[in-house]
């Protein structure tokens, strides 16, 4: 590399090599659980999509450590790389070729590219397409959810998508040094596990928040996401007001008129644009009401509930707000369902069921789940069972689930179509299944 005869050519190579040094020395690699439906096998282009700071780069480094060949890592979120622009993409390929020539026999080794935040590279699709057709294996990350559909459309039949999230409770236990040797077998007592679950529940699943026990990092991540909205012409103060209101009312339906009032955003279309942006950066999720899908001809008319992208956002973003433990509890279960690749809806008729579930790529409801932190209260118990039973009868399900803080039992209830079984179990046990 010493033979380059001008500083302008040397600079991109120096930057590229600095990226390799960082990628090869990422500390504290915690094995991540990934959905069984996603396989790292195969030569397809792989996209890892999820919120910033959830550990996507660390996961790529973990993958790279098991591969044999030339590994090139580039962070397109890096300001210096963005300044270089697409004109220096050739330097990346030349670097890969030079390393392959030096490190592999006959210069024929496999090249693996790992590109962080690929959406920051204008025209990335054509370049990635060419590299892949030339035989390279490619791993991409993005902190923008809208890239998922674009990616699938651009590379039909040649891509795999892994939806990535902050740590699950299982992963939280691993990072805290607790081994789960096999399903149903734990080396830690139930009391200790419950205590650790409550800490996880309070602080959320962002890796550095857990490692440093620093909830202020969640606030930092929240602010970072909103500030990037400035590049898209969003009023940051209005965006912030809207987001804080929604997070403080997580697991609740919202009215457009209320959102306009609290945020100062003028009309329905603008509100929808702001909500789309918050979903795009994984700060919020919208969950539709299932039994209204057939009743409305327009998707925007379907009632929705809002959930936060991490339970730690609640305390970090609005520490002075009166806590609603039940709604945060519901939010936690929602995120776990997403990790398990479920399609999530809620049901509401005469009564409400918190979640009705469809399996991946299915149109049939497969499960109904009710969330309750006070299931021991007779009034609450009756309300939760009646809401769950209404969903079980609606979708002809034989069994329902109630997730609680610490209650555990099996209940038989007579429904319209015969007896139903309701399993009641602590949420932390369910999250370890």
Query: Are residues 11 and 160 both part of a single domain?
Result: yes
Tell me which H or E stretch contains 393: helix 378-394
Claim to verify: residue 201 and residue 331 sit in the same structural domain? no
| Domain span holding position 375 | 326-433
Q: Which of 214, 248, 280 is the last residue of a domain?
A: 214
Do 18 and 153 fall within a single domain? Answer: yes
* CATH number of 239's domain: 1.10.10.10
Q: Confirm whether 182 is domain-assigned.
A: yes
- Looking at the fold, whether 305 and 339 belong to one and the same domain comes out as no
Q: Are residues 174 and 153 in the same domain?
A: no
pLDDT tens for the chain, 433 residues long, are 344 344 445 577 788 888 888 888 777 667 787 776 677 888 999 999 999 999 999 999 989 988 999 999 999 998 887 777 666 888 899 888 888 888 776 667 899 999 999 999 988 999 999 999 999 999 999 999 999 999 999 999 999 999 999 999 999 998 887 766 554 545 567 788 888 999 999 899 999 999 999 999 999 999 999 999 988 899 999 999 999 999 988 898 988 899 999 999 989 999 999 999 999 999 999 999 997 554 545 555 678 999 999 999 988 887 766 667 888 899 999 999 999 999 999 999 999 999 999 998 899 999 999 999 989 899 999 999 999 999 999 999 999 999 999 899 999 999 887 899 999 999 999 999 8
Tally the domains of the chain: 4
Question: Is the same domain home to 318 and 355?
Answer: no
Cα separation, 246 vs 373, in Å, equals: 21
283/349 same-domain check = no
Helix (H) or strand (E) holding 160: strand 159-163
Residue 219 counted as domain residue: no
Same domain, 39 and 132: yes
Tokens for 82? 């963005």
- Do 26 and 141 lie in one domain? The reply is yes
Same domain, 75 and 146: yes
Are 47 and 149 in a shared domain?
yes
How far is Cα 322 from Cα 306, in angstroms, rounded to an integer? 18
The tens digit of pLDDT for each residue in 213-239 reads 999 999 999 999 999 998 889 999 999
pLDDT tens readout for residues 396-429: 999 999 999 989 999 999 988 789 999 999 999 9
Q: How many helices (H) and strands (E) does the chain have?
A: 17, 14
For residue 322, give the DSSP letter: P
Q: Do the domain assignments include residue 36?
A: yes
Order of all β-strands in the sheet with 111-116: 70-75, 111-116, 137-142, 45-49, 159-163
């Amino acid at each position: 590399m010493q033979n380059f005869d001008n500083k302008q050519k040397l600079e991109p190579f120096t930057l590229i090599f600095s990226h390799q040094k960082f990628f090869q020395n990422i500390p504290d690699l915690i094995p991540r659980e990934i959905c069984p439906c996603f396989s790292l096998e195969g030569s397809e282009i792989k996209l890892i999509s999820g919120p910033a700071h959830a550990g996507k780069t660390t996961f790529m480094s973990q993958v790279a450590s098991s591969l044999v060949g030339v590994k090139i890592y580039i962070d397109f979120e890096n300001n210096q790389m963005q300044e270089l622009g697409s004109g220096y993409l050739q330097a990346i390929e030349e670097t890969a070729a030079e390393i392959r020539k030096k490190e592999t026999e006959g210069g024929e080794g496999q090249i693996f590219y790992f590109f962080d935040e690929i959406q920051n590279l204008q025209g990335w699709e054509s370049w990635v397409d060419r590299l892949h057709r030339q035989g390279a294996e490619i791993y991409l990350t993005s902190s923008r959810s809208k890239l998922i559909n674009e990616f699938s459309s651009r590379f039909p039949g040649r891509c795999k998508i892994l939806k990535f999230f902050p740590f699950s409770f299982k992963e939280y236990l691993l990072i805290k040094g607790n081994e789960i040797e096999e399903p149903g077998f734990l080396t830690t007592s139930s009391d200790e596990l419950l205590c650790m679950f409550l800490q996880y529940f309070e602080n959320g699943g962002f890796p550095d928040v857990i490692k440093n026990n620093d909830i202020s990092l969640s606030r930092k991540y929240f602010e970072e996401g909103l500030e990037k909205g400035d590049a898209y012409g969003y009023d940051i103060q209005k965006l912030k007001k809207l987001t804080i209101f929604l997070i403080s009312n997580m697991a609740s339906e919202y009215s457009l008129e209320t959102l306009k009032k609290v945020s100062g955003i003028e009309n329905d279309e603008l509100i929808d644009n702001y909500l789309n942006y918050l979903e795009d950066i994984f700060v919020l999720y919208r969950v539709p009401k299932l039994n209204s899908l057939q009743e409305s001809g327009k998707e925007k008319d379907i009632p929705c509930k809002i959930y936060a992208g991490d339970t730690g956002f609640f305390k970090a973003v609005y520490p002075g707000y009166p806590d609603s433990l039940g709604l945060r509890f519901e939010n936690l279960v929602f995120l776990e369902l997403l990790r398990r690749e479920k399609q999530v809806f809620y049901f509401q008729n005469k009564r409400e069921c918190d979640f009705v579930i469809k399996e991946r790529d299915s149109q049939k409801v497969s499960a109904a789940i009710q969330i309750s932190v006070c299931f021991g209260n007779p009034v609450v118990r009756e309300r939760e069972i009646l809401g769950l039973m209404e969903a079980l009868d609606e979708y002809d399900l034989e069994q329902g689930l109630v997730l609680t803080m610490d209650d555990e039992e099996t209940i038989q209830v007579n429904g319209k179509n015969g007896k139903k079984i309701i399993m009641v179990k602590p949420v932390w046990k369910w999250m370890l299944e």
